[in-house]
Structures are given as structure tokens and as C-alpha cells.
A and B are shown apart, each in its own frame.
Chain A
């Protein structure tokens, strides 16, 4: 199975400051159709996961533009340009290229 390694696992951030989460896969996530199925999810405390970004860099409807995704191949990043209080939670990367789909361990974002 493809292993998704996130770092850091814990990320204390000051309100208004940027945050960055790295996700590395054990294999290339480029699928035979040319797409890279790397997705990012946010899970706020007590809530279901919510997708933020799909196929590396496409923001879901309603997701603030302070969230952005980038990367290619095996190396990906989720950035929050200015962290707000509502961004507290756990963030997961997930690959949908190689079955079974797999998630990273999660990165807990908290306010300092």
C-alpha cells in the first residue's frame, strides 16, 4: 500500500500567521489518466472530515482562499496563508491513485 507521511504531526500557530503541512507519498501519485489524485481534508473537533482540496490544488466550493495546495509526484504541501481560529483541527492528506486509497497520519493544528 502507498504510505502517506505527513509532517509535522503537531503544528502550533499564532493567529494571523501562515502554516504549512507537508505530505510525502511512497510512490508517485500520477495516475494513468494524467491526473494526480492527492486530496486534503480538514477535521474540526467533533466533526466529520471535510474535503478542502482535490487533485493537488483545486479548492472545494466554500473553502476560503487562504487554503492552497501544491506539489507534484510524491511531494505535496497544504498552506494556510493566515491562520484563523476556525482552522483548528486535524488535517489529512489522502491519495486516490493506487488502491487502496490511503491517508496520512494527520497534522493537528492548534493556536499558540
Chain B
């Protein structure tokens, strides 16, 4: 069974950092583009970043460019999102999704909540 499980969310102060993880199982992780998408409480969806199978290509939406870094470890079947300089508006549930990403991702995790507040 294809499964994506996010972890690492929590409460962080403005200006702080957090690293999210997404553990993949049930498929050959190294052969898929992966992505992070977020959803602010009670709001819609925002696609944040994509990463190619070997990590050689990465794309970011402007709202997180320079602050967030997407990465992966194919040996550990894991996707990561390093989030720095966090702001209140980064408060959201963060989902990882499996590519092909132009198709929006055919499998999403259950999400992990990040709350940025003092």
C-alpha cells in the first residue's frame, strides 16, 4: 500500500525554524517527483515546492523561496522541508504529495500542523 506519513510539525516562534519529514512506503520512492503543499486553517491549498527524483531540480513558490528548502534522501525513502525565518502566515497543515507533480500528486499524506506564534 502506498503511504506517505508527515512528521515534525509543532509550535514555533516567529523567526524560528522547523524541519518537516515525509516517510514514504509501498512504492519505489527514488523514481518519483515529490512535492510539499500547505493549507492554512480554514483556507485553500497552496503548492509550495517540487523536487526531482535525484534532487537535481527544485522549484519553489515565491512566498517561500529563500526561506524553505526541499530535499530528499532516497536511501531513507524520505522527503524533507527545512523551514527557516517562519512567519505567522506560514501557519498551516503541510502535506507531502507524490508525483508526477503536474498531475497534482496521486497520493498525499495526512499532513502535519505547523503553528507559528509567540
Contact = CB atoms under 8 A, between A and B. Distances in A.
B18 to A, nearest CB: 20
Contacts, number: 57
Interface stretch (B19-27, B71-79, B108-116): B108-116
B42 to A, nearest CB: 11
Interface residues of A toward B: which range? 20 to 34
A96 B106 CA distance: 13
Interface string A30-56: 010001010101000000111100110
B44 A103 contact: yes
Interface residues of B toward A: which range? 10 to 19
Interface in B28-75: 37, 44-47, 59, 61-62
B80 interface: no
B44 A100 contact: no
A37 B103 contact: yes
A41 B44 CA distance: 12
B45 to A, nearest CB: 4
A99 B59 contact: yes
Interface in A93-112: 94, 96-97, 99-106
B45 A96 contact: no
A94 B108 CA distance: 15
Given A31-B102, A106-B44, A48 B108 contact: yes
Interface in B82-111: 95, 101-106, 108-111
Top 3 closest A-B pairs, CB basis? A96-B102, A39-B104, A101-B47
